[in-house]
Structure formats: structure tokens, C-alpha cells
Structure 1
Amino acid sequence: MNTANLLRLILLAAIWGGSFLFMRISAPVLGPAVLIELRVLFAALFLAAVGLVLKKRLHLRAHWKHYFILGFFNSALPFLLFAFAARTLSASVLSVLNATAPMWGALLGAVWSRQAVGLKSGIGLVLGTVGVALLVGFDHVAARPGAGIAVAAALLAAFSYSVASLYARSAKSVEPFANAHGTMWTSALMVLPVLPLFPATGSFTPGIAAAVLALGVLCSGIAYILYFKLIEEVGTTSALTVTFLNPVFGILWGALFLHETIGWYTIVGSAIVLVGTALVTGFVPRFGRAAALSAPAK
């Protein structure tokens, strides 16, 4: 991986790690449904403008069902679940729970293919569970009302990303930019019926508006463009580098901007989760020319 791609990788991880910061700021005020409807709508409009400039077509007649399925599991459902959890959990905890997505993906893949989980993967699953329990159990957010449901929602969101990855591997090939663009529009449609269930509890302020705009344009629109550039440069085979870097920035942004506490349990729990995920997925860091990048959760 050359210097330019390494910088893109770090920037992408910083942006996607920041998504949990922006959700933590805006979800308690706007509620999960309003926040995510605005996020995917802003992302769709931004990607539509980019697609117009680049002359990228969606081919809706051929792919609309695919956009709805992928949009549900890769955007609408996990975005809503993370936004729901963000009303209670800290940005740092959310970012680490998100990093379990590749672990669930490997487990789901084994079940789908009816293959037994190997010893290394089994140890990884145990470590991942222990890491999550340590992180959440010692963090002060565990004492907040509804923390258990919020943790379950965040883990289900990470699981939803793994379902999306499994579906994407078996679905017909669609151009990556069209996947991102099309699924933002279908996600905006699917979130609409949920709006009455989670009305906003506060009003827009300049800070909230900036967080929502950053989630849509920066964390969903610009981030996808960076991601697709990395795919073009380094491939999509098996590396999970962004997923492993996201919690680093999620914890950092939470501490810097929200004054979240970084305790020993934060560092140790996060490290155990990442080691467990690495064991389950067979991830081995490679920074040579053969390094690759696969679809991360964000």
C-alpha cells in the first residue's frame, strides 16, 4: 500500500469513526428515525450530484429489488439501530460494538455454508464476547436506563452489516457507486414509515444541523467515494483494515469532543474484541502491494 492509499485509509477510518460522534450528538435530540431519514436523504442527494457529474446511472428497472434488499441490511436497519443505541451509549462503545461486524459475518458464513466453526474461530468468538462484556460491564454507560437494549441494538446492527455482506457476495454484480447511490434512495423510502414511532424530542440547533449534514455528506457520501477509490487501488479481497481502525478514531473523537472517559476497560476490552475478530476472520495485517480492502461496517 503506497503512501497515498495509506492516507486515504486513515482518512476514511477517521470519517467513519466520527459517525458515532455525530450520532451521539444528534440522536438524543432528533430521535433515531428523523436523524437517519435526514442522513440517507442528504447522502442520496450528494451522491446524485456526483453521479450526474460522473455520468453514473442507477439502472433502476433492472436493480431496484437489489437496492431495496441491500439498502435494508446495509443502511436503513443498521443506521436506525445505531442511532437508537446512540441515545444511550457513548461514541466509543458504539464504535467498538460496530467492529464486531466481521466476526458475525464469519459466523453467519459458516452457518450458511454448513461448515463447523474451527478452533481458532471459536476462540475468537469467545474473546469477542468477553471483550464486549468487559467493555460494557465496566463502562459507566451500563448503569444508564435502557443500556442493555441499546447494546443489543448495536450488536444487531453489526449483525445486519454481516447479512448485507453475505447477500452482496451472492447477489448479481452491480457497480459499487450505483450500490451506494441506489441504496441511499431506497433507505430513505424505508425509513419513512418509522418516523411516527420516534418523533424528535428537541429542535434543530446549528450544532445539530452540522452533525446531521456531516453524517449524510461526509460519513455517507464522501466516505463512499474514498472507499471506492481504495477498492480501485488496492482491491476487495480480504483485508479488514478500516474496520480495525474505526474504533481507534471512535474512541479518540468521543474523548476529545464529548469528554468521554477512556478507562483501562476501554483499551483492554477494545483490544480483546479486535483480537477476537481477527481470529474469526483470519485477518493478517499486510501493508505491501498485495494488501486489499473489503467492505467494512460504518
Structure 2
Amino acid sequence: MTAANALRLLSLAAIWGASFLFMRIAAPALGSVWLAGGRVLGAALFLLLCAAWLKRLLALRVHARHFLILGLFNSALPFWLYSHAAQHLSASLMAILNATAPLWGALIAALLSRQALPARVAFGLFLGVAGVALLVGFTRQQLSAPVLWAVLACLGAALCYGIASNYARGHSEVDAFSNAHGSMWAASFLLLPWLPTAVPAQMPGWDVAAAVLALGVVCSGVAYLLYFRLLAELGAAQALTVTFLIPLFGVLWGWLFLHEPVGWHTAGGALVVLLGTALVTGFNPRVLWRKTELSP
């Protein structure tokens, strides 16, 4: 891994970690539907400008069904679920729960292949569940039905990412940039009919508008471009290390800007979840470090 790619990886983790901060700011004012809709539409418009600059046409008619499926599970539904959760959970907790996405992806892959899970993967899934239980179980002063539903919404969003990753793996005929661009327009189309059902009571302030703009342009549009660049240059295995960095930045931004407390259960739960994710994905930091040392 070159120094440039290491910087891209850290930047991507910092950006995606900040998405939970921005959702926490905007969700109480906009609600889940309008926040998710604003995010995907902002990303779609940004990627449209990029496509015009790069002179890349989008074959919507040819791949319409593919973009709709990817847009539903990779953007519209998880963004909606996270936007709902952001009205009840801290940015730190959402960022950590997001790290369960590879666990869901591994479980879905095993179900699709109808093969038994290896012992390492099964133990990793167990640790992931234990980490979530540790995170939620020791926030007794905050436990309520809305909070528990919000936790389930976060896990449901991570499950959507697991579905999307398995689906995209079997449809490599569409290039990465087109997947990002087309799926964002598809997600906008899917969320559009729901907007009249949940109109915000009042116009949002500049801080909310800035948070939505940052979510769309930076946390979705720019982040996708960074991620696909890493995929092309490093491959999926090393690009996956961003999964382990996002919770660290999510907790940092929540503590720094929203003054969210970081108790022992937050650190302990995050560590258990990430350890489970490492076991499931086969992540080995020593191998990554050796590759970094040998890279020019």
C-alpha cells in the first residue's frame, strides 16, 4: 500500500465516520424520509456532474433493474433506516453497529452457497452478537422501545449492506462508477413517493441544510469515488480495512462535536464487534503491514 492509498483509506474512514455525525444533526429536524431522500439526491446530482466531466454515459435502460436492486439495498433502505435510528441513538453507537455489515454479508453468502460456516466464521458471528449485546445492554438509563427499535434499524441497515455486497459480487458486468451513479438515481426514484407522507413541520436551519449537503456530496458522492479508487488499486481485501476504521472516527467525531460520552461499554463493545468482524473476514493486520512495507 502506497502512502497515497493509505491517506485515501484514512480519508474514507473519516468521511464515512462523519456521516453518523451529520445524520445525528439533521435527523431530528427533517425526519428519516427527507434526510435519506436529500442524501441520495445530493449524491446523484454530484455524480451526474462527475459523469459529465468524465463524459461517461449512464445506460439506465439497459441496467434499470440492476440499479433498482442495488439502489434499494445499498442506499435507499439503509439510509432510511440509519436516518430513523439517528433520532434516538448516538453517532458513536450507530458507527459501531455499522461494523456488523461484513458479519451479515458472510452469513448471507453461507446461506446462498448452502455450505456450513467454518468454525472461525461462526465464532466471529457469535462475537459480533455479543458485542452488540454489550453495547446495548449496559446503556440501561437509555433503554426504551424507541431505542431498541433504532438499534434494530441499524442492524437492518447493516443487513442491507450485506445483501447488496453479495448481489453486486454476482453482477460484475457493470463498472463501479456506473453502479454508484445509477444506484443513487434509483434510490432517489424509490424514495420520492414517500416524501409527501412526512413533510417537515418547518424549514430546516443552515446547520441542517449543511449536514444534508455534506451527507450527499461528501459522505456519499466523494466517498464512493474514493472507495472505488481503492478497490481498483488495492483489491477488496485491503479496501475492506476501512470497516475497522469507521467506528474509530465515528466515536471520535461524536465525542468531539456532540460531546457524546465514551464509556467502557462503548470501547469494549466496539472491540468485540471488530474482533468478530476480523474473524469473519479473515483480516490479518500483520499481512497488511508487511504489504505496506514492501510497497513503493
Taking structure 2 as the reference length, the TM-score comes to 0.94
* Aligned residue in 1 for 2:88: 88
In structure 1, what is the equivalent of residue 152 of structure 2? 152
Stretches of structure 1 lacking an aligned partner (at least 5 in a row):
292-298
Code of the residue aligned with 1:31 in structure 2: it is G
What's the TM-score, normalizing by structure 1? 0.93
**Matching residue of 1:65:** 65
In 2, Cα distance between equivalents of 1:153 and 1:141: 20
8 Å CA contact 1:142–1:148 kept in 2: the answer is no
Deviations, residues 177-223 of structure 1 (Å, cap 9, x unaligned): 11101111110010112224433244311110110000000001111
Identity %: 55
Letter in structure 2 aligned against 1:129: V
Confirm or deny that 1:182 pairs with 2:182: yes
8 Å CA contact 1:88, 1:141 repeated in 2: no
CA contact (8 A) 1:125 1:277 kept: yes
Distance 1:110 1:237, change over 3 A: same
Distance 1:15 1:163, change over 3 A: same
Runs of 4+ in structure 1 off by over 4 angstroms are: 288-291
2-side partners of 1:58 and 1:26: how far apart?
Answer: 31
Q: Deviations over 1:89-123 (max 9, x none)?
A: 10000001110000110011111100111211121
Structure 1 CA distance, aligned partners of 2:202 and 2:133?
32
Offset at residue 236 of structure 1 (A): 2.6
Q: Secondary structure at the match of 1:146?
A: helix
CA contact (8 A) 1:89 1:141 kept: no
Aligned to 1:259: 259
Question: Who is 2:248 aligned against?
Answer: 248
Distance 1:141 1:190, change over 3 A: farther
CA contact (8 A) 1:136 1:142 kept: no
Tell me which residue corresponds to 1:204. 204
Q: Summarize the alignment of residues 1-298 of structure 1 with structure 2, pairs less than 5 Å apart.
A: 1-139=1-139, 142-237=142-237, 239-285=239-285, 286-289=288-291
Paired residues, number: 291
Contact 2:231 2:239 in 1 (8 A): no
Is contact 1:239-1:283 (8 Å) kept?
A: no
Stretch deviating more after TM superposition (137-146 or 191-200): 137-146
